[in-house]
Amino acid sequence: MPRILLKTDDHARDSAGLRYVYPVLSRRAGGISIGINLNPNNACNWHCIYCQVPNLTRGGPPPIDLALLEYELTTLLNSISQGSLIIDHNSPSHPSNGLHSLRDIAFSGNGEPTSAAEFPLAVSLVHNVLHAHGLDQQVMLRLITNGSLLDRRSVQAGIERIGNASGEVWFKVDSASTTGLALINGTHIKTETVSRRLTRCAALAPTWVQTCLFKLDNTLPTEDEITHYLALLAPIAKQLKGVHLYSLARPSLQKEAPRLMRLDAEYLENIAQRIRQLGLIVQVNA
């Protein structure tokens, strides 16, 4: 495998020339992350206006070739151990600590990973590969999800396996209002549904909320939006590990891209302080 240059502002899914597996330099993970892309057809059940996936379409993934996934993950892990990854130290907002460490294997990719019928099997497969490499106690197993399919028993089973493997879930909550969810994520669900699914997720595996804030049409998130967001978190704060609060790091590839603008660290920190008043840990990445 050729050497691969990693940057925080470039999370290309094809950087390693593989179908399901790709390495990235992650600000929030604090180092190298191996992504598992169960949506290689760029299909998702949501349409987030800040999404960096090219040619994003609505839908679910094709059947997953689990044997190929296992081969690709094993190949990439072996390649990393041989020093195939190069870190760009000039990359914007690059992690300053543990930069060369493999931090996690994350189910993320180009759509909602839990929409794959093979999701629970893929979780077990990845954990087994980590164990075979002696990494299951060193490398975190993560799921990055919009939480929309938490009512499925198969999805719950996969998340429970992540919890049993000492892994964790990053659960997307960009808005806590019906209007905001429709505008930002392209989904028509009620806030009560988000709260119920988030609560269920936290009971199955350690769960962080991940929230992306930004200016839309040069306008900050409204006070009403922030108030609704805090109200959603407050009743279940003790059940959560914390909140990953961040703004745009890479350009959106959706039609709404010209309407979006990154927020500065000071604004995010002000919102983080309000979240911390709920008793939650907040990690900020501007």
pLDDT category, 29, cuts 50, 70, 90?
low
**In this predicted model, which residue has the larger pLDDT, 69 or 286?**
69
Residue 7 has pLDDT above 50, yes or no: no
pLDDT digits (tens, 9 = 90+) for 168-215: 999 999 999 999 999 999 999 999 999 999 999 999 999 999 999 999
pLDDT at site 101: 77
CB atoms within 10 A of CB 183: 15
Cα 193 from chain centroid?
Answer: 20
pLDDT at site 285: 86
Distance (Å, whole) CA 144 – CA 207: 10
pLDDT at site 4: 53
Residue 249 has pLDDT above 80, yes or no: yes
pLDDT at site 98: 39
CB 27 within 8 A of CB 93: yes
pLDDT digits (tens, 9 = 90+) for 152-175: 999 999 999 999 999 999 999 999
Handedness of CA 78, 81, 87, 92 (dihedral sign): positive
CB atoms within 10 A of CB 285: 18
Residue 53 has pLDDT above 60, yes or no: yes
pLDDT at site 83: 60
Q: Please report, to the nearest 10 degrees, the dihedral formed by the alpha carbons of residues 192, 196, 201, 203 taken in order.
A: 140
Residues of the chain above pLDDT 90, percent: 76
pLDDT digits (tens, 9 = 90+) for 99-140: 347 889 999 989 999 999 999 999 999 999 999 999 988 999
Nearest to 219 by CA among 255, 267, 251: 267
pLDDT at site 109: 87
Residue 145 has pLDDT above 90, yes or no: yes
Residues of the chain above pLDDT 70, percent: 86
CB 171 within 8 A of CB 147: yes
Q: DSSP letters of 105-138? A: EEE-TTS-GGGSTTHHHHHHHHHHHHHHTT-TTT
Q: Enumerate the β-bridge partners of residue 207.
A: 169
Domain 4-284, second-level architecture: Alpha-Beta Barrel (3.20)
Mean pLDDT of 223-237: 98
Q: Angle of helix 223-233 relative to helix 191-204, nearest 10 degrees?
A: 40
Ordered by start, the domain boundaries in the chain are 4-284
pLDDT digits (tens, 9 = 90+) for 56-96: 999 999 999 999 999 999 988 888 776 655 444 454 444 44
**CA dist 63 → 122, 135, 147, 240, 256 (Å):** 12, 28, 21, 33, 30
